[in-house]
Homo-oligomer: A and B are copies of this chain.
């Protein structure tokens, strides 16, 4: 007897027209709406509503938990692969919460027909990335779906981490005058993926910035203490969407200097060719920091003296009440940055 299977597409055909579209996954406005309309009313609680990428699950022991699914296409790209990304992505969500990554789980959804060589290369990358960070993958699961019901390889990683000291990071700790710092250039990951998909080649080959933010964030916490207010890794939706979340979280305006925002030449060239804004493209190894103004020089020192692909820069400051992100252009004008809307880049991470 052949295996009895069933296409879920039959069920979808019954849909009355309200459907999930690709924009729901872009990390911008449509994703926020899906979360607020569909998920929070049904599985919401204080921890999920807080909107951070990690949640404190045990106040006594300060244990944090975060989850991320990786569906990036293609699974291998300049600078990394889905395996490395799945380890660093989840580690980075813990890192920007100020938590030391401790344990990871890995759940695989493989598509029938996936090359075993590719699978082995991806799992090898995961092992290397985890070992480099001293984090163990303590639980794993594998499912296989029929051809045409997957994208080769999808990986969920869930991470548990611990914070040590008494410092609490949060948008509620952000004050007017605080400095906005980027640890390095934006948009590398997004351009690397898109260029690979499109088969584009540029004079300057762009590689994904796929890298771990730990132990950098640990050193920043240690060195800046209370002067470190908040950290966020700008993945889907890019730095613009991350800044918008901070502005909405604080209710304050954020004032950015367009000239100060680090964008590599190759990224600039590619985005101009493709008609895209690098501020909306994913980074996978950089962080946005909000730091007490007097500590910003110290923050830059700490980043520069830590091993990693860092090119830190102060890119702006926190303003008064408002809740908008305002970008000062080189010509002295101001342009308002909203969250990503539409323009889906499916499967960027």
Contact = CB atoms under 8 A, between A and B. Distances in A.
A59 to B, nearest CB: 12
Interface string A333-348: 0000000000111110
Number of identical monomers bound together in the oligomeric complex: 2
A17 B116 CA distance: 8
Interface string A1-40: 1011111110110111011111011000001001100110
13 contacts: A4-B194, A4-B197, A6-B74, A11-B75, A18-B117, A19-B112, A24-B110, A25-B143, A25-B145, A42-B123, A48-B139, A143-B347, A145-B151
A71 B109 contact: yes
A2 B24 CA distance: 16
Contacts of A22: 3, 112, 144, 146
Interface string A98-119: 0000110111111111111111
B136 A45 contact: yes
A324 to B, nearest CB: 26
Main secondary structure of the interface of A (DSSP, over half): mixed
A105 B65 contact: yes
A57 B160 contact: yes
Given A8-B74, A67-B139, A20 B146 contact: no
Contacts of A347: 5, 143, 145-146, 149
A73 interface: yes
A5 B158 contact: no
A117 B15 contact: yes
Contacts of A158: 67, 105, 107, 139, 156, 158
A166 interface: no
Given A4-B194, A20-B116, A146 B346 contact: yes
A140 interface: yes
